[in-house]
Amino acid sequence: MSGTKKTRLPDLDQSHGYQLWRANNAMQRILRRVLDPLGLTPVQFIVLAAIGRLEDAGALVTQIEVCRFGDLDENMVSQVVRGLERRHLLERHVCMEDRRAYVLSLTDAGEEMICGARAVVRKRMAQIFDWPDGEAVLPLLRSLAERLEATEE
């Protein structure tokens, strides 16, 4: 689908929700394309990236913290974590402070994987947002995300 293709229904061209849906789907396709050669899905990427960022911040990285950081569903994260653990990209241990929780940490292979994945994702994002007003999009997206999150309550 071309980015310049117009829909046949003018009301959809003026629909915020539809345009946001299109942008999100296009972003997911792009992420799948750049991450697939590394053997990662976009969700696996977010989980590994969240663990890496939280570890770097010195936080105790639990599955629930990864869910919060990545705005991800707990059941999905649980399944993704088990798969990444089987691939030896992360380790999962019972939390000493709360036996119901798991503490997550990247393995050396996981750290290498997320470094490589971040590099390809950053490069592709730089290409996507490389236009005269590209930097102006970030505050708008942040504001939109905050507004949408506030309306969930």
- Residue 8 in this model has a pLDDT that exceeds 80: no
- Residue 7 in this model has a pLDDT that exceeds 60: no
Record the pTM.
Answer: 0.85
Residue 91 structure tokens: 């380790």
Using the CB atoms, write b or e for 125-153: b if 16+ within 10 Å.
Answer: eeeeeeeeeeeeeeeeeeeeeeeeeeeee
* Residue predicted with more confidence, 101 or 69: 69
* Chain segment 21-71, per-residue pLDDT in tens: 999 999 999 999 999 999 999 999 999 999 999 999 998 899 999 999 999
* Chain segment 111-153, per-residue pLDDT in tens: 999 999 999 999 999 998 888 887 888 899 999 999 988 998 7
Determine contact, residues 31/121, Cβ cutoff 8 Å: yes
Alpha carbons 68 and 129: distance in angstroms, whole number: 26
Q: If we measure between CA atoms, which residue out of 75, 80, 68 comes closest to residue 43?
A: 80
